[in-house]
Structure 1
Amino acid sequence: MPAAADTDPPDYLTRMKAQEMWKVADGRGITVAVVDSGFKEVPGVPSESVLPGVSVMSPPAGKPDTKYSPHDDVDGHGTTMTAAIVGDGTGGAPKGLAPGAKIMPVRTSLGTAQGFAAGGEGAEGIRYAADNGAKIINLSWGDYYAFEELKSAVQYAQSKGALVFAAMGNAGEGNNATNLIALVPGVIGVGAIDEAGMPLKLSSHGPDTDLAAYGSKTRIRCPENSGWCVADGGTSYATALASASAALVWSAHPDWTAPQVARVLIQTAGAPTDGVKRNDWIGYGVARPRKVLLDREGAPGAPDVDPLAPAPTNTPTPSQTADAPAEAAAAAAAAEPGLPWQWLALGAVVAVGLGLGTTVIVKRRRR
């Protein structure tokens, strides 16, 4: 990967009209929990934008008293996600999409020799984030083996009012394994697009993809968190941008709930160009917070209804006769099942236990 100074990746922020949006809202007042590999203080990420956070890393065998700081990151993945949201653009770092937001680093064992424990740690970290004021929880990774723990933790966070984003995964064309976390109802599964706005070829995709964001060439931390390099950010980076988009919207509308923020992001997304409502690569489309902040589009709707939950059907009750109005029967027949939501990690970063199996959970969505 070439050094960032040698390459000029596409300026997706200009396309998103970030400068104009920041005059309306910049994420101020919103805490985004980045449950990942931690955060290392590096050039380009203001320390005042990062809260103390917590480390949920398990101590190594035989050293039960070992403690880890959330403000350390041997891998660089969590630091990259943090920069994508609140970076200041100096020192080779990317400029964050929601520079006024606060990041709560939740450090797991991702990227370390103990990475096998990251799933259970992540579940603990999600609960911590929900209990300590995080409005948005960013999960740019997935774990198959700890899925039940993660599902329970995500549902707990949702009960506390948090909005959860999960990367779909970076499986590529040969292996389309997707993040099981995205199956959980209420979780927004995020795919990635390239410079031309087309689905990124490495992006995992499926019925649980809800939104997409830029994930191609960008500034990420070099191997071993040794500096800033340019490479594909993948669905991990796209998820951070989706989380930042939600932070902008929520900052402008602090009285909205998580379902309302999700609803307007879905309503205002740049839909597939072939005219379909959604597809498995980009879901309902590319996140466009400017449509909410600048164009004042999107209807928040009910504060406590999942915008992607299945639409109610007019199922006849025993008291209804067989010759009910034809209109009601037609409406029930036309009701479409809703759509899903999903997972994973950045570029070449190792993902822990990517789920290759199936699950009985079906996450349906419908606006």
Structure 2
Amino acid sequence: MIVAAWTVSAGTVIPAAADTDPQRYLTKMKAPEMWKVADGTGITVAVVDSGFREVPGVPGESVLPGVSVMSPPMEQPDKKYPAHDDLDGHGTTMTAAIVGDGTGGAPKGLAPGAKVMPVRTSLGTLQEFAAGHEGAKGIRYAADNGAKIINLSWGDDLAYEVVKSAVQYAQSKGALVFAAMGNDGDSNNNGSMLTMIPGVIGVGAVDDDGGVLALSSHGPDTDLSAPGGKVPIRCTDNKGWCVGDGGTSYASALASASAALVWSAHPNWTANQVARVLIQTAGGPRDGAKRNDYVGYGVARPRVVLLDRQGDPGAPDTDPLAPAPVKAPTPSAGQTAAAPHPAASADAESRNFPWQWPALGAVVAAGLGIGTTVLVKRRRS
């Protein structure tokens, strides 16, 4: 199943006064002060989504030509789709959250100096069953055409392996990938399988007061969180601006924009270093833990990096989410390691099968379109 991670239908039309009222989260994040240090200039964010429609509130110069990777219908194999079109408004909303100008009811983008590269898939159309494979193609395109950050505000459990391969390719090109956790509001399926891909930053959503947004899916792959409740979104069928829950889709776009701000200020950093400082400087969980499954390491706070100059970028080639290496115990002097008993080896092998088969079964089931609960998740340090 492929789902866009938001709830646009619940929106209400924005009053005209909103043109001059910045979103509350921008004020809390001290965005105007941050923009004096960095506004995302020099950074391209690929929004692999439902496309982009030119609408009031999103400057055309902030959006690159992009590409459409939509598959043509069988009866029209030569049909072409423009990247600058969007039937349901999801991709347009994500774009505005990053580079909008705040007029006409649109949000003011968190990284207004960045450029968005729209990559249009079949999300929001009757052909959206193909969006996962299309998205994989779009991720590769974005990586090959200068995108430093790739935003995936949708979930997929049909083309996981294909998308994973594309993400790994993008990472090899130096890109940083963010994915929405999903809006099921529970941890039964850990939200989107895309957040399980090593190195991908899984993003949950918080409400206007910084509490966990009720619809935000959660689990061990939640890494960061950002605002997603009661925000400007495109109304149903991409007609006008409404206020509604953008959910983890919107939160993922804001996390991507946060990374754009940090990277704009530190253009020589790698994706790992940008991710590391965002994790280090996040506003931690309210329960006092280092991280939890609801908000990850906390709400993204790029101001702490830009204004307070905190955060250690660390090693450029080390994934900050990778498990710490475990050292094997050193035998005491005079001791030698005994060869394992054949029965013990057989027992160890038999214990491995229950973990291998469900993982394989999940892939097979996803390929057949069968809903499944994934049992093997990315391990944390």
Q: Same fold (TM over 0.5)?
A: yes
2:78 matched residue in structure 1: 65
- Does structure 2 retain, via aligned residues, the 8 Å contact 1:178–1:206? yes
Displacement of 1:175: 6.0
Q: Matched residues in 1 for 2:23 and 2:189: separation?
A: 26
What amino acid is aligned across from residue 357 of structure 1 in structure 2? T
Whichever residue aligns with residue 283 of structure 1, its letter is G
**Poorly superposed stretches of 4+, deviation over 4 Å:** 6-10, 173-177, 317-323, 353-356
Q: Does 1:249 align with 2:259?
A: no
- Equivalent of 2:377 in 355, 358, 362: 362
**What SS class does the counterpart of residue 94 from structure 2 fall into?**
helix
The one-letter amino acid paired with 1:4 is I
Task: Quickly say closer, same or farther: Cα 1:88–1:10, change in 2 above 3 A.
Answer: closer
Cα distance in structure 2, aligned partners of 1:111 and 1:204: 21
Task: String of CA shifts for 1:291-345, please: whole Å, max 9, x gaps.
Answer: 000000000000000001111222125687769xxxxxxxxxxxxxxxxxxxxxx
- 1:122 corresponds, among 135, 160, 164, to 135
Shift of 1:126: 0.3
Tell me which residue corresponds to 1:5: 15
Q: Which residue of 1 aligns with 2:28?
A: 15
Q: Summarize deviations over 1:237-291 as a string: whole Å, max 9, x none.
A: 0000000000000000000000000000000000012211100000000000000
1 or 2, which has the higher helix percentage?
A: 2
Question: 2:357 maps to what in 1?
Answer: none
Decide whether aligned partners of structure 1 residues 320 and 153 sit closer, same or farther in structure 2, where only a CA change above 3 A counts: farther
- Residues of 2 paired with 1:10 and 1:359: CA distance? 37
Give unmatched runs, 5+ long, in structure 1: 324-352
* Cα shift at 1:142: 1.3
The answer to whether the Cα contact below 8 Å between 1:177 and 1:356 also exists between their aligned partners in 2 is: no
Report the CA distance shift for 1:298/1:113 in structure 2 as closer, same or farther (over 3 A). Answer: same
**Contact 2:184–2:215 at 8 Å: present in 1 too?**
yes
Instruction: Report the Cα distance in structure 2 between the residues aligned to 1:138 and 1:277, rounded to whole angstroms.
Output: 25
Percent identity, aligned pairs only, is: 74
CA, structure 1 residues 321+52, in 2 after alignment: closer, same or farther (shift >3 Å)? farther
Cα distance, 1:362 vs. partner?
Answer: 3.2
Distance 1:256 1:302 in 2: 10
Residue type of the partner of 2:307?
L
Inter-partner Cα distance in structure 1 for 2:370 and 2:153: 14
Q: Does 1:216 find its partner at 2:226?
A: no
Residue of structure 1 equivalent to 2:239: 226
**Is contact 1:170–1:234 with CA below 8 Å preserved after alignment?**
yes
Match of 1:182 among 195, 206, 228: 195
Is 1:267 matched up with 2:280?
yes
Instruction: Please report the RMSD computed on the Cα atoms of aligned residues, expressed in angstroms.
Output: 2.0
Task: Work out whether 1:87 is the aligned partner of 2:100.
Answer: yes
Contact kept? 2:16, 2:105, Cα under 8 Å: no
Q: Take 2:335 and 2:181, find their aligned partners in 1: how far apart are those partners?
A: 44
Change (3 A) 1:257 1:361: farther
Q: Flag structure 2 segments of 5+ consecutive residues without an equivalent.
A: 1-10, 337-367
Bigger Cα Rg: 2
